[in-house]
Structure 1
C-alpha cells in the first residue's frame, strides 16, 4: 500500500514513589501499588474519552511491578507502557495526557515526590512512497500469482524501518509476506477467523519454513531487480 503502513510507537517507563510500611500498618504508608493501580485504570480513559472516534490510538500497559513480599508495602512501583498512533497531533495529545494523569494520580495519593517518566523506545511512522511503491508492486505482480499480491490496511504494528525514511528523507517501501501454512490460512480466511492465527510475539507463532523462506527471498530479489534493471 502507499502512504502510512505502520503506526508510530512510544514506550515509557513510569516510576511512582510512595512510602513503604509493613502490611499490618497500611496507615503508615503511602501505597505505590494502589497509586499505580489507579493510574493504570485512569490511563484507559485517554483513548475512550480524549481521542476522537475517527482517530486511532492504543495505550497498552505491559508491565506493572511493585514489591517483593506479600506483607510488605513497597516504596515504589514501576509501570511500563506503549503508545501507538497514526497522527502527530494525536500522538502529542496522548503523551501529554499520560504525563498529566500520572502526575495527578501521584499528587492525589500524597506521593512524597513526582513520578519519574523515562522514554524507552520510539519508532516513527512507516510511510511508503507512492512512486516507489507502485514500481515495486508492478514488479511483484509480474513475478507472483495475482492472488498472492494484496493491498494491506494500515496496522498498529510498528517498525524501526520507519526511522530510515524519516531520518534520511528517502523514499521507502515496506511490505509484508505471510508465513502461515497456505491451507490453514485459506481455511481461516473462509471462516473469517484470520485474526485468530498466531502472529509475531505470540508464543504459538511458528511460520512454516517452506514456502515462506523462498517467498521472502524472491520478493527482495524482484524488488531489487526492478530498481537495478532501470
Structure 2
C-alpha cells in the first residue's frame, strides 16, 4: 500500500479533521435510524457542523439539517448526504455493528461522516476559496421522500439557489476509486413504489364459497405481474418489477377481508416507467374483476423519482478534479443502473418543487473496500442493501472526504478569481492498488 503525503494541506484528513468524522461514522453506524425516524442522527450531524462554525438549521422537511458556511462573494455549492438507514438486521459481525433491527447497509453513515470531514477541511482552508458552502443532511432517502420534503419546506428559498449540488454514494469498489456517469445514459433509474390493497369478503375457512379470498387474488396478481417485464417490455427498457411486501390474514381458519402488496418499478426512462405503471394498474383491476372482488382495489403511489442525469459541464469539472486527485486509472465510468435516488429532484427534474429549471447536479460513486477486502472478494463484495455490507472506514473515509473536498473546490471560486473554478490538487492519501478488472462484478450503490 502506497500512501504518499499530499502536497496540499487541504487534502490531509488526519488528526483533528479525521478523528471526529470517524467518531461520527462509528456512532451513526452503531445506532442507525430508519427513514423518518432520524432524530438522533440529525442531532449528531447538526452538532458537528455547528462545532465547525457553520450556521445550522434543523427540522427542514422533517429531520433535515442544513449547515451554511459563508466565505465572501462567489458560487453557492451544496453538498448532500443522507441521514437514514434501512430496516435490516446487520450480520457483518463488526465490533460496532448495529443491533436494533436497522442498518446502514447503503453507506449513508459514510456519506454523513465524509460531509462533516469535507466541511472541516474547507473551513480550515477558507483562504483557498470564496463563496457559500451549504451542507445538507437529508432524511428519508431510502423511501425516496426526503428530498421532496426538504424542497417543499423551502430549501432553496431559505438557503439560496445553488450553483451546483454535489453528492457521492458508497459503492463496492476499492477505496480511493471513484466512478462517474456518462452523458449517454442516466446514472440511476426512474422508479416508483405502489401500495395496493385488494378487497375481498372475509369469512370462515370452512365455507370459502361464502367469501371472496383476497389472498388468492393477490397470488394471481403477483404471478401475472411478472409478464409486465417478460412479455410487455423490450430489453432496451431495462425494466424491473418487484413485489417486495405481501400482507394478509391473521389466522389459518379465517379468510381475510383484504390483502396488501408493496410493488416497486424501475426503468431507465420515464416513458418506460409510465407504460409499466399502466400495465400494473390494468392487471390489478382485471384480476380483482376476475375474482369478483366486492370493491375496486386501492392503488396508491407512495413515491416516485426520475432518472438521474448529471450536468455535463459540472461533471467534467468534478471528474477532472478527481483525476487530478487519484489519477486516471482510478476514475472510472459508471454504467446506467436500476438503483434509484431522489437526488434528481434537486435539479431540473424538481423544478415544480423549487422553481429552478437549471440547477446543475454532479453525482459519483466512491469506493469502500480496503485492499485486503478487495483481494479477498475477487471483486464480489457484498452489495449495498446486503446485511453483510461493510465499508472499511480506515481507507474509505479519508478517500471519500478528499473526493468531496476537491469536487467542492472545483466549483467554488478561488480568492483571486471569484466565479472561476479553483484547480484541484494532484495527489492524496489513497492506496494505489490497480483498478478492478473489466470483468469484475460491482453492484449499484443507491436505493
Tell me which interval the TM-score lies in, with the shorter structure as reference length.
Answer: over 0.9
Task: Give distance in 2, aligned partners of 1:130 and 1:83.
Answer: 27
Q: What SS does the corresponding residue of 1:137 show, helix, strand or coil?
A: helix
Residue 116 of structure 1 corresponds to 298
Corresponding residue for 2:322? Answer: 140
- Correspondence list, 1:1-230, <5 A: 1-3=181-183, 4-165=186-347, 166-167=349-350, 168-169=356-357, 170-189=359-378, 194=380, 197-228=381-412, 229=414, 230=421
Which position in structure 1 is the counterpart of 2:430? none
* Cα distance change of structure 1 residues 206 and 188 upon mapping to structure 2, 3 Å threshold: closer
In 2, Cα distance between equivalents of 1:173 and 1:71: 55
Q: Give how far 1:188 is off.
A: 3.7
CA positional deviation for 1:147: 2.8
Question: Secondary structure of the equivalent of 1:201?
Answer: coil
Contact 2:270 2:307 in 1 (8 A): no
Q: TM-score, normalised by structure 2?
A: 0.49
Q: 1-side partners of 2:345 and 2:281: how far apart?
A: 25
Task: Tell me the TM-score normalized by structure 1.
Answer: 0.94
- Separation in 2, partners of 1:58, 1:40: 14
Return the alpha-carbon distance in structure 1 between the equivalents of residues 346 and 196 of structure 2.
Answer: 28
Contact 2:199 2:295 in 1 (8 A): yes
Kindly indicate which of the two structures has a greater share of residues assigned to helix. 1
Assess if the C-alpha contact under 8 Å between 1:7 and 1:86 holds in 2: yes
Structure 2 stretches lacking a partner, 5+ long: 1-180, 351-355, 415-420, 422-447
Matched residues in 1 for 2:369 and 2:243: separation? 29
The answer for unaligned runs of 5 or more in structure 1 is none
Q: 1:18, 1:31 within 8 Å by CA — same for their partners in 2?
A: yes
Cα deviation 1:161-186 (Å, max 9, x = unaligned): 11111223311110011212333324
SS at 2:394 equivalent: coil
* SS of 2:237 mapped into structure 1: coil
Q: Is the 8 A contact 1:2 1:133 kept in 2?
A: no
Query: For residues 26 and 46 of structure 1, do their structure 2 counterparts lie closer, same or farther at Cα, with a shift above 3 Å needed?
Result: same
Task: Figure out how many residues of one structure are paired with residues of the other and give that number.
Answer: 225
- After TM superposition, give the deviation of residue 187 of structure 1 in Å: 4.6
Runs of 4+ residues deviating >4 angstroms: none
